[in-house]
Amino acid sequence: MAVTVQHHPEQPCFYYQEGGTQAYLEYTLSNQIMTIEHTWVPTELGGRGIAAALTQAALQMARKHQWQVRPQCSYAARFIEKNQQYQDLLVHSSR
């Protein structure tokens, strides 16, 4: 099953919806830094890679816009740690 992630910059979040159930990743953007605040996948949608798809969509958006990323969400932090191709997006301590 392909997971289609939607972006709502006005909220700001990335989300996946199936039926009436929604999974999402919330972030804030300030001074070209995307802070990933929270990732949530309800139990009924769990185990299908939806959190990974949401996180990857956010990181791809950050890369596209040349933003740095601050993962306050523990899931996003672990995802970046395991996927080294995104580690260059992490906020440098000098910022």
pLDDT in tens, 42-86: 999 999 999 999 999 999 999 999 999 999 999 999 999 999 999
- pLDDT classification of 19: cutoffs 50, 70, 90: confident
pTM: 0.92
Spatial CB neighbours of 15, under 8 Å, sequence gap ≥ 6:
5, 6, 8, 22, 23, 24, 25, 54
Q: What is the mean pLDDT of residues 19-36?
A: 96
Residues 16 and 23 sit within 8 Å (Cβ to Cβ)? yes
Q: What percent of the chain has pLDDT above 70? A: 96
Q: For the domain made up of 6-89, give the CATH fold.
A: Aminopeptidase (3.40.630)
Residue ranges of the domains in the chain? 6-89
Report whether pLDDT(95) > 50. Answer: no
